[in-house]
Amino acid sequence: MRRTALLASAALLAGLLPWAATARAADEPPPTAVDRFEGEVPFAKQPAEGIFTWGGDTDDPPALRLADRADAPEGAKVLTGTYEISGYGGFTHDYAATAPAHDWSAHRGIRFWWDGRNDGRKITVEIKDGGAHGEASELWTASFTDDFTGWKRVELPFTDFAYRTDYQPVGGIDHILGLKEMWGYSVTLPAGDKGDFAMDGVELYGTADPALRASVTTDAPVHPVEEGGTAKVRVSVATTGAAPLTGPVTVTYTTAGGTAASGTDYTPVSGTLTFPAGTASGATRTVEVPTRRDRAAEPAETIPLKLTVTGAKAPAETPQVVIDAHGLPYLNAKLPIRERVADLLGRMSLAEKAGQMTQAERGAVGQGADITAYALGSLLSGGGSTPTPNTPEAWAKMIDAFQLRAQATRFQIPLIYGVDAVHGHNNLTGATILPHNIGIGAARDPQLAYQTGAVTAAEVRATGVPWDFAPCLCVSRDERWGRAYESYGEDPALVESMETVIQGLQGRANGEDLSRNDKVLATAKHFVADGGTAYGSSTTGTYTIDQGVTTVTRKQLEDIHLAPYQEAVDRGVGTVMPSYSSLDLGDGKGAVKMHARGDMINGVLKGRMGFDGFVISDYNATDQLPGDRAAQVRAAVNAGVDMMMVPYSYKEFSTTLADEARAGRVTTKRIDDAVSRILIEKMKLGLFEHPYADTSRAAAIGSPEHRKVARRAAAESQVLLKNTGGLLPLKKSRKVYVAGSNADDIGNQTGGWTVTWQGSSGNIVPGTTILQGLRKAGGQVTYSKDASAPTAGHDVGVVVVGETPYAEGAGDVGNGHDLTLSAADQAAVDKVCAAMECAVLIVSGRPQLIGDRLDKIDALVASWLPGTEGDGVADVLYGKRPFTGQLPVSWPKSEAQLPINVGDTAYDPQFPYGWGLTTLAEPPRGGASALSALASRATAAERHGDARTGRALVTRARLLVQQKAAGHLTQAVSKPFADADHLLLTGRYGKAVEKLAEAYRAA
């Protein structure tokens, strides 16, 4: 059927399209059908040929069907579909992976019928060139705008297709559109409001354009030069296959237009460059454009260098020479920042201010021309949005290219580029991947939290990124939440204690370190109470708890969820991100989305707390507000959101904001406040003086020094929940049988937000798995993932089980996830633990329900998501380091107990908050009398402000209780035990020991 579809004749098509026939030259090849949508191509994925959908998350893929249409341009059916895309989504037709690729080189381009909605949306079409198959090909893109009504034939010449820079599945092949080995096409539908489409009759048309065999390019689209200097624009010619030119290529150039005055600001130039036949591919000529000094302080001025090309494909855009802004107060780094900002703000237009408040996704701006056109203030890489290849050098090169575009704006305001580096520079392959926050919370080590922030900042800034959307300061109150592992724990006091990470990221609280090449701007998120959403309250897609409603009293809000944000403000955090979730305070207003809560953002955060950084929205979060786009923009901006993360709808946001301001519905004062806040942070970062990447520290990315910190973090995060007979640490003389799905899977070990948004299983990043760590530690190890290998002859089993990766609401319990082990993991635990003494390690983002097997398990370890350094896990298993971790969340007996948290009136978990056995060489001795003495000493330490002694005394008391209570925890033990840990974190050392004494008596 495929060959029939692809080789249909023009005569047949003409018969089917009585009103669609177009004139064709005598020597023009007949059109070649690609898709008629009559059912000849199925909905199927490779290796079968077929049409399939895809998207950024579960809600993004469109719904497709073949529909009978009386007005079908050809045949009886058309491809139609509906969509509502928040990130990205579309559909693909791939030829079968086992079939030969197709030769499209005889044709001018690809065309199809599109049923226009006249909504002004841009639709991107992608073609797949070379490579092993459609999903391992080189991607080239072009687009068209739906600015018409009804059926229209859209023609896209191959000369319009540009190499895709935001994603290449195999890192690119030769960067040449060869057209001789084609694997199909894709259509990317627009993000935003709901939409529908209809398409028909995809075919190849016309005679091949000779310009495809050669192309002219310039070294950069923008050429900044200081006033009085000479810009040098390099013009190059390249050919398909790098063969010499078969015919001459001429490039006529002239300086004309722009904002610079010819003869006053620059010396006009014109002429012709000639590349004769036989010229080698890659040959380069240089055009020089001299500028003049006039000694006046001025904004930047542009000089377009217009190029007219004969014999080759012309550059995609006209290169711009830019005379740098000079002499203006805001450029003077010696002046106070607020004075500089005030000067710049007074010069900016409304459109330029709106641009500063706009953040777009890198994948949406393509080569970056819209950065200049819309004076954009910021770009981001969403989870998994990476350059190709995904290397530090490619990141820096990409960001520098985007920064270059900002230099073509009037005031050359630099971009601020942001990423979600939530456990290391996790988008970058080869970066140091640290434990997720839940593991850092388990480590209970503020200095370690600081060091993890410092490692992350150094690796992020070395790739040219100055802004990190971290840390998450959520207080996770329900382990069914798919973001539970992004929290340091369920106790606000624990979260506050880990906020040393902010200094690791930013440096000193006054912001003076932000311009360093190893520091980044941090983001406290998600303001506020995202960790308190009620199970079943979410209305986002199939989510069950994420982005739901938090219903609390004002006191509960203050005590549990707001407290960490005051700490963050006091530590000088530069940005804050509101939550997707809604807040219901029982005040009659009902559940209100946080992005619209001016009482919390303007009132509490900026007002009472004194936050003076800027507020950045979450990804497309304003789309969830009620009303049309104007109402959404108005609500968020007036509530206090300063910059809007509108990845693919940045044009609409920017223009809508300006319209709202002109109409007086958003005040000039509100906009000026927002822009001032953004510019202040950019100046603190030193971006005006040094906008481009400083890669001098790039060698430290993934370095042994950084991995040493990650290894220590992995070790300290391990929580020993049970250790019958002192099975752990393991003795190297014992033969160890290792099993379980997570023993040798670094993707599962690192979890979500690793290389891609959701993360994935498998060998996705460099590092050491837990199995590899055990082997490197020198033990005698046999490995059988499913425990199918014989168990005889082994002394002890280590079964590493747990979850597979997920992120955000996709990981919510009830949305394809639960808190029980998989059948395979359960079988592995049962088999190994029945055959020998066994230790079970649970690699997961939250507690797993293990109570039904607890009696069969000798040692149980909560390993969380330890990152790339499995050696750290092996360190505690073999005793190189002692187990010292403590539970950052309560470990439930059953899902029916959820939510369960320290401080609850009825509190009877499997293991209480703060529980964590140790393998220190000498456990403490004593009983009730010893605890009484410890309480007196702890009270004295508290009175004298001796935190170090106070903590040590409480720790000693905790270990005494654990020695007695291990193996027979009851509600009477667990509640005071957990309460004691909260008291410790709040500095009430004497009361903490008194609670531990109560637990001791009950044990």
Active-site residues: which are they?
A: 618, 808
Q: Which residue has the tokens 């609850």?
A: 904
Contact 788, 738 (CB under 8 A): no
Residues, the chain: 1003
Contact 532, 477 (CB under 8 A): yes
Q: Rounded to whole angstroms, what are the CA distances from 172 to 130, 168, 180, 512, 937?
A: 10, 5, 16, 41, 66
For the chain, percent helix, then strand, then coil, each to nearest 5? 30, 25, 45
Please state, in angstroms and rounded to a whole number, the distance separating the CA atoms of residues 874 and 565: 36
One-letter identity of residue 924: P
In DSSP notation, 560-588 reads IIIHHHHHHHHTT--EEEE-SSEEE-SSS
User: CA dihedral defined by 552, 557, 561, 562, rounded to 10 degrees?
Assistant: 160
Give the whole-angstrom CA distance, residue 24 versus residue 530: 61
Q: Give the integer Cα–Cα distance in Å for 593 and 635.
A: 10
942 three-state secondary structure: helix
DSSP element (H, E) containing 34: strand 32-35
In contact, 533 and 550? CB cutoff 8 Å? yes
Running DSSP on this structure, what letter comes out for residue 834? H
Place of tokens 């922030």: 453
Backbone angles phi, psi at 578, to 5 degrees: -70, 165
Q: Cα–Cα distance between 654 and 679 in angstroms, integer?
A: 17
Which of 807, 878, 809, 815 minimizes the C-alpha distance to 845?
Answer: 807
Write the CA distances from 438 to 435, 529, 683, 904, 992, integer angstroms.
8, 17, 33, 21, 23
Query: Tokens at residue 195, please?
Result: 């939409």
Give CA–CA dist 310/350, Å, rounded.
41
Taking every pair of C-alpha atoms in the chain, what is the biggest distance, in angstroms?
105
> In a 10 Å sphere around its CB, with 0-12 CB exposed, 13-18 middle and 19+ buried, how is residue 292 labelled?
middle
- Beta partners for residue 524, in sequence order: 576
Bridge-based pairing state of the strands 249-255 and 378-381: unpaired
Q: Are strands 378-381 and 121-129 parallel, antiparallel or unpaired?
A: unpaired
Distance CA 176, CA 316 (A): 15
SS3 631: helix
Q: How many CB atoms lie within 10 A of CB 724?
A: 15
Tell me if the bond preceding 61 is cis, omega within 30° of 0. no
Burial 573-591 (b: 16+ CB within 10 A, else e): bbbbbbbbbbbbbeeeeeb
Three-state secondary structure string covering 370-388: HHHHCCCCEEEECCCCCCC
Quote the CA–CA distance of 520 and 782 in Å, as a whole number.
44
- In whole angstroms, how large is the CA radius of gyration of the chain? 31
With a CB cutoff of 8 Å and minimum separation 6, the contacts of 31 are 10, 13, 203, 204, 205
Q: How many CB atoms lie within 10 A of CB 760?
A: 16
Cross-strand partners of 254: 270, 306
Backbone φ and ψ of 865, nearest 5°: -120, 90
